[in-house]
C-alpha cells in the first residue's frame, strides 16, 4: 500500500511541476485528480475547479467543459474561492519564474 501511495504522491508532485511550467494537460490532470479523488488526493471541488480553470486559461477545451460541469455542483462562494486560488497560483508561479 505504501508503494502505491508513494507513486500517487510522486505523480501529483510531477503534475504540479509540469503545471507550473504552463502545461495545460498537467493542469487538466490535476483537476481530474481532485474532482475524482485519484492519485491519493481527497475529492476537493474547489481545488478541482481551480485546476480546470488554470487548464482552460492555458487553452484546454476539456478544462473549460469540466470546469463548467463541476461548477454546477458548487456554491457561488466555492466558485469565487476557486477563482481566487487560481489567481493566487498564477501570481505565485509568475513570481517564481521571474
> Which whole-number Å values give the CA distances from 22 to 11, 12, 27, 34, in the listed order?
17, 15, 8, 18
Under-50 pLDDT residues of the chain: 1
Dist. CA 6–CA 37, nearest whole Å: 15
Q: What is the pLDDT of residues 71-93, one digit of tens each?
A: 999 999 999 999 999 999 999 98
- Cell matching residue 88: 493566487
Region of residue 28 (phi > 0: left; psi between -120 and 50: alpha; otherwise: beta):
alpha
Residue with cell 478541482: 48
Domain total of the chain: 1
The parent domain of residue 8 ranges over 2-97
For position 98, what pLDDT does the model report?
62
For position 6, what pLDDT does the model report?
75
Contact 27, 55 (CB under 8 A): yes
Amino acid at each position: 500500500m505504501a508503494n502505491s501511495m508513494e507513486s500517487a504522491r510522486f505523480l501529483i508532485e510531477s503534475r504540479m511541476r509540469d503545471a507550473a511550467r504552463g502545461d495545460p494537460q498537467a493542469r487538466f490532470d490535476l483537476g481530474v485528480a481532485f474532482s475524482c479523488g485519484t492519485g491519493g488526493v481527497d475529492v476537493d471541488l474547489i481545488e478541482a475547479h481551480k485546476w480546470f480553470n488554470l487548464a482552460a486559461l492555458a487553452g484546454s477545451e476539456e478544462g473549460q467543459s469540466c470546469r463548467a460541469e463541476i461548477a454546477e455542483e458548487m456554491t457561488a462562494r466555492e466558485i469565487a474561492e476557486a477563482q481566487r486560488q487560481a489567481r493566487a497560483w498564477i501570481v505565485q508561479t509568475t513570481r517564481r519564474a521571474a
